[in-house]
Amino acid sequence: MVYRDYWALAQWIRHYSKHLGIENLYVVVHGPDEKVNDIASGANIWTIPRESLEAFDKRRNKMLNQFQSGLLQFYDWVIRTDTDELICVDPDLHGSLERFLAQTTDDAVFATGLNVFEQADEQEMPHNVSVFDCREAAVITGNYSKAWAVKTNVPLMRHGVKLTKDKRVAYSYSFPQGVYLAHIKFANIDALADVNATRKEVARSGVSGLPGWGWKRADEHTKKFFIEAETLDFTSWSEAVADALQRLTTDMKYDEKDGVIRAPGIPYLAKIKLPKWFKET
Tell whether 258 is covered by a domain.
yes
Tell whether 212 is covered by a domain.
yes
Identify the domain containing residue 203 by its residue range.
78-280
pLDDT of 207-240, one tens digit each? 665 555 555 677 888 999 999 999 999 999 999 9
The whole-number pLDDT of residue 196 equals: 85
**pLDDT at residue 82 greater than cutoff 60:** yes
Tell whether 53 is covered by a domain.
no
Tell whether 28 is covered by a domain.
no
Tell whether 185 is covered by a domain.
yes
* Percent of the residues in the chain that have a pLDDT greater than 70, as a whole number: 93
**pLDDT at residue 260 greater than cutoff 70:** yes
pLDDT (mean) for 157-172: 85
The whole-number pLDDT of residue 127 equals: 84
Q: How confident is the model at residue 165 (pLDDT cuts 50, 70, 90)?
A: confident
Tell whether 218 is covered by a domain.
yes
Q: How confident is the model at residue 202 (pLDDT cuts 50, 70, 90)?
A: low
Tell whether 36 is covered by a domain.
no
Tell whether 127 is covered by a domain.
yes
| Assessment of whether the complete model's pTM goes beyond 0.85 | yes
The whole-number pLDDT of residue 109 equals: 98
pLDDT (mean) for 18-39: 96
- Count of structural domains, the chain: 1
DSSP string over the chain: -BSS-HHHHHHHHHHHHHHH-GGG-EEEEES--HHHHHHTBTBEEEEE--S--TTHHHHHHHHHHHHHHHHTTT-S-EE---TTEEEEE-HHHHSSHHHHHHT--SSEEE-EEEEEE--TTSPPPPTT--GGGT--EEEEESTT--EEEESSSPPEETTEEE-EETTTEE--EE--TTEEEEEEEET-HHHHHHHHHHHHHHHTS--SS---HHHHTHHHHHHHHHHHHHHSPB--HHHHHHHHHHHHHTT-EEETTTTEEE----S-SEEEE--GGGGG-
